[in-house]
Amino acid sequence: MIEADDLAARELPVYFGLGSNLGDRLGYLLQACAMLYSAPGLARHAASRVYETEPWGLAEQPAFLNCVVRAQTALDPHSLLALAARIEGALGRDRAVARWGPRTIDVDILMLGDAVVDRPDLMIPHPRMWERAFVLIPLLDLEPGMRAPDGREIGVFVQDLPDASGVRPIRADLQGVFSGAENRLM
């Protein structure tokens, strides 16, 4: 485990959780992926399949489309947070909406290698990711053998989640978002 202050210039995998349930949901995911692809300091991108998921938190809202994007980076956690906020702002995210409410786009930093960040404005790993099938199932697309910090395989968490059946893959062609031999979109 790496503390945030010990990250200086280390290249680590970063995982972003993306979600949208307003307007052109797939279009917002595509735009967010494109913005991550073109962001300085991120390289070797890959994305999970896109999943349609039931809303989490506030049930009376449209279904979400979700995916997870992985990249390599030496950026510090707060630079990654600023990048996520810029993408959300550029795609019309309204922060005045209730927590867990509808949004054009949500960009969460899920993990940054094995770094741990515990600050008032940022927690990595994302503190609620282990309870969310809409995060863990796409993450398994990218990292089938990934383990949580406590050593358990992520698949074990998914088996224990009551909402896992509400996470359904959709047919979505994201092939044009990332390019290069090391990039993969499922």
Active site residues: 93, 103, 106, 108
How far, CA to CA in Å, does 19 sit from each of 6, 102, 176?
A: 30, 10, 19
Q: Which sign, positive or negative, has the C-alpha torsion 142, 5, 93, 59? A: positive
d(CA 154, CA 140): 7
Pairing of strands 42-47, 2-3: unpaired
CA gyration radius, the chain: 15
Q: What is the three-class DSSP state of 49?
A: coil
d(CA 67, CA 74): 22
> Among 117, 170, 125, which Cα is nearest to 146's?
125
| The amino acid at 67 | C
